[in-house]
Structure 1
């Protein structure tokens, strides 16, 4: 295992993305905490500081408790 394998997965990257664990320089990421997405990173570069601090987000995921396209709870 190398250092790249130890980086967190970036939420929203495609399964065939050559760098699903490599953050894009200049982008802002937050850690996802709890549930099946725990430990992944989410790119929040497009959000304002106010939107980032709103306290949470609902994400659509194939890892959801109720099957594909459900919210990870």
Structure 2
């Protein structure tokens, strides 16, 4: 995968030198079906129940318009 197609890591600083950098020995899942679609979420240390229960992830208010779509 080229560096231009690597998914961004959720929570990475916008001014980070590499917002797509993953950490060794960490587990990531890809977010789907929403405004954060395609980004990676670090789930290291979460139990199976915590991983399947769902999560509310914060985006800037009104960043994606009504319904969350761009």
Same-fold call, TM > 0.5? yes
Indicate yes or no: 2:58 matched with 1:60: yes
Aligned to 1:43: 42
**TM-score of the superposed pair, with normalisation by structure 2:** 0.77
Aligned to 2:33: 34
Of structures 1 and 2, the one with the larger relative CO (CA 8 A, separation 6+) is 2
RMSD: 2.1
Q: Which contiguous aligned blocks of 4+ residues in structure 1 show a shift greater than 4 angstroms?
A: none
Alignment size in residue pairs: 65
